[in-house]
Amino acid sequence: MNRMKYPDYVTSKRGQIIFRFLSNLADHYNKNTFWIKSQYGLYLKKFKNIPENWLMNLFQDYLINEMEWLPTIKKVSEYMTSRHDFQMHWHSVPLDQTYCENCRTDSEGKEGGFREVYFYGFRQSLNKKAEAHYKGSCNCTLASKSNHKSYLEIMDWMRAQDNFGEIHCSYFDPDSNRIVTAQEQSKHHWDKKIAFGIIRRGDPELGEDEGAVFACWDHPLWISVYGEAMCERYGIEMPPEIVEKFEKTRRDIKGYTAGRNIRSREKVQSKIDEDPRKYAPPVSLADAMGGSKVSKRITGSTEEHKSRVQAHIERNMTYVPSDTGRKNEQ
């Protein structure tokens, strides 16, 4: 089996994948080696951040299933981004870099870059104490490349608003293996939850940690549509009996929504039926131009009407012979 010989400017595995693809295009459309070399640099720059195995399959699929004429690099790129398995972070995140644990939002570290900031204190713009939620770029290597304001700058700006206010930022906690949100670090936030009976502090008499928080499962908020999200946010596990009630709430909401839609349609239909005026359904452009079955039925009735009109004209029309005919008779 003969191995392909690559020119000197092809120095990497990615380059070999691109060169083979361009060679296939050149064979199909009778392009020379100068064309391959001119396109090689553009393809290498365009697809530098795509995983090599995925790029190889992409080019193979394009040659087999998509190619109809000589494609531009823009056309190949559009096919790439239209695939269901394309990852958007390939546009912006280098393959050898990831976001840090404090700011990543996926398991691979390819999405994220922001830290939450929570503030409770005197806000000069409102002239009163209030909460505020912000997001700023993380100071990790990858996130710091963005043009967004850093979360550290935002925290400094908040301290200038009220030096005695509560200021917190999100961070990754290895013990709970999750990102602790900025809001849940605030005493003011938990005081509100406790006041409303949603959360309670630990009771030492029950052997609970006084510094920990526990859910008040009898509060209706836990079995509402927000219950699951709250458990995930605060790292609380929902008991089986609460899970059952929560699922029932979801089913009831789905049933109510479906029933409401049905009743709405029935109400509209009854109004149409009660209206003395007769409504004709709207027709599509194909119907209007005579290109569908519906339009053929309409056309048939139109032709029948034209025939009746023509018959009426013929019955009531008086024939007057021309003067030329009279002269010939004389």
The pLDDT tens digits for 281-318 are: 677 776 666 655 555 555 566 667 667 766 766 666 55
pLDDT for 316 = 62
What mean pLDDT is reported for the chain? 79
What separation, in Å, do the N-terminal and C-terminal C-alpha atoms of the chain show?
103
Whether residues 165 and 210 share a domain: the answer is no
pLDDT for 288 = 64
Whether residues 135 and 174 share a domain: the answer is yes
**Would you place residue 117 in the very low, low, confident or very high pLDDT band (cuts 50, 70, 90)?**
very high
Whether residues 270 and 208 share a domain: the answer is yes
Residue ending a domain, among 182, 209, 226, is 182
Whether residues 21 and 52 share a domain: the answer is yes
Whether residues 204 and 172 share a domain: the answer is no
pLDDT for 294 = 55
- CB neighbour class for 297 (10 Å; exposed up to 12, middle 13-18, buried from 19): exposed
Handedness of CA 14, 20, 23, 24 (dihedral sign): negative
Q: What is the mean pLDDT of residues 154-180?
A: 86
Residue 305 in domain: no
Residue ending a domain, among 274, 290, 305, is 274
Residue of 301 and 218 predicted with greater confidence: 218
DSSP-assigned beta bridge partners for residue 166: 120
- How many domains is the chain partitioned into structurally? 3
Residue 320 in domain: no
Please tell me the least confidently modeled range out of 148-162, 200-214, 259-273, 304-318: 304-318
Reported pTM: 0.52
Residue 167 in domain: yes
Residue 213 in domain: yes
How many Cα atoms sit within 13 Å of 290 on the Cβ side? 5
Q: What is the mean pLDDT of residues 175-183?
A: 83
Residue 322 in domain: no
Confirm if 100 and 170 have CB atoms less than 8 A apart. Answer: no
Please tell me the least confidently modeled range out of 19-23, 67-71, 136-140, 169-173: 67-71
Residue 77 in domain: yes
Residue 267 in domain: yes
> Where in the sequence is the domain holding 156, given as residue range(s)?
114-182
Report the candidate in 135, 167, 172 with the shortest Cα–Cα distance to residue 151: 135
Whether residues 172 and 219 share a domain: the answer is no
pLDDT for 241 = 87
Whether residues 211 and 262 share a domain: the answer is yes
